[in-house]
Amino acid sequence: MELRTDEPERRFSAGTTLITDNVTHPTLTIETMRWHSGRLLLHLEGVTDRSMVEELRGVVLSVDVDPDERPADPDEFYDHQLVGLSVVDRAGVPLGTVGEVVHGAQDLLVVKRPEGRDALVPFVASLVPEVDVSAGRIVVDLPDGLLDLGSG
């Protein structure tokens, strides 16, 4: 598994139901989990042979998180906390709303711009100095032209 959580023991414990992006297996339940050579290994209910495992290669697994739950680190956020927040510049000028968080080598905020084009903003402290979930906004400090580079 390629992890995107800082709390794997909490998220992937025995009995946890995982939500997938796979139509054949929309949910999977963890029987056991263990670490092997720095990698998380899961044994899933009903996944009994290598061909079934191969069928699940590349599948994104997620867990339901209570909407009121917060990560232990105050500088971390769950995706669902960020999606829908207003994005403003340091002067408070509205720039759009967060439509999605993309994970990869660098986490990106997909900012839905009023003119219909999405902008990709690297989710790093130097560019995103303030995230205020309770106020419903994210303050960004972007170099000129960054909002012109987008995904749509």
pLDDT per position as a tens digit, 12-70: 889 999 998 888 889 999 999 999 998 888 999 999 999 988 988 888 888 887 777 88
pLDDT of residue 151: 54
pLDDT per position as a tens digit, 65-113: 777 788 777 788 888 899 999 999 999 999 999 999 998 888 999 999 9
pLDDT per position as a tens digit, 117-148: 899 999 999 999 999 999 999 999 998 877 77
User: Which strand ranges, in their side-by-side order, compose the sheet holding 94-102?
Assistant: 118-122, 108-112, 94-102, 86-89, 137-140, 130-132
Token look-up 């995982």 returns 18
How is the chain split into domains, by residue range? 8-62, 79-148
How far is the C-alpha of 124 from the C-alpha of 144, rounded, in Å? Answer: 17
pLDDT of residue 96: 96
- Tell me, which fold does domain 79-148 have in CATH? SH3 type barrels. (2.30.30)
pLDDT of residue 149: 59
